Amino acid sequence: MQPNLAQVLNTLAHEIRTPLAVSQGYLKLFLDGRLTNAEDTRRAMEQTRQALGTLATLCVDMGKVSSLSESAASGIPERVSTADFIAALRGQADIKRATWSGEGGAGMIATSNSSDLAQAVAVVSKTAFDEARDEAHAIRADVGADLVVVAGVDQALPALQAGPDAPAARAVDFGKGGKGLKLIWAAFVLDRHGVQTWTLENQKASVGFRIPLVQA
């Protein structure tokens, strides 16, 4: 599931292309004297500022991806309870509008950074919600032998719960354009935690996560 170097570089090149072209285009208009009034100039400079901000964010995200692609940190990972992890996940801004359901239970997750893990699950879930557009967003979290979290539209959740080996299950595309490097970063975080992910062949507005549990 972890992206390879070619996928990372291809995604980075794709995401850089548009803001770079915007910046160059508006600066050329300015240097050629084709921005004929103060309002046109202000608008062009604002668009350029936003494009450069996107490039700056990509640089920061690339640093985060680079640090995750290195060898795992030494030492014993911390343990976080499933209840605390689900609470952290529910607090993520990307998925705050979703309705929640599920069956509780006791369990522990081994993690070197529970905040990163919660954010990674939220980032990938948000991508599914973006596919759903105006449909209601739902998340279900069930604790059993593992923690299974499924996210998407209501009608997709039962099929998602069949797991990554079900006939309708398909791999998640972590190289989607327009998402910056957030999905790539999330893929590295999930892979480091041994999390399985899947979506449905006929319902792209859906994603499932199987997070392994360990002994306390």
Alpha carbons within 13 A on the beta-carbon side of 164:
14
pTM of the predicted protein model: 0.79
| Percentage above 70 pLDDT, the chain | 91
List, for residues 41-90, the tens digit of each pLDDT value. Answer: 999 999 999 999 888 888 888 787 777 755 455 455 789 999 999 999 99
Locate the domains of the chain by residue range.
5-69, 78-212
List, for residues 125-158, the tens digit of each pLDDT value. Answer: 998 898 877 788 899 999 999 999 999 988 889 9
Tell me the C-alpha distance between 151 and 197, whole Å.
Answer: 11
What is the sign, positive or negative, of the torsion defined by CA atoms of 142, 146, 151, 156?
negative
Cβ-contact 153, 120 below 8 angstroms: no
Identify the bridge partners of residue 212 per DSSP, sorted by sequence position.
146
Indicate the class that CATH gives domain 78-212: alpha beta
Tell me the C-alpha distance between 102 and 211, whole Å.
Answer: 15
Phi (first) and psi of residue 136, to 5 degrees: -65, 140
Domain 5-69 belongs in CATH node 1.10.287: yes
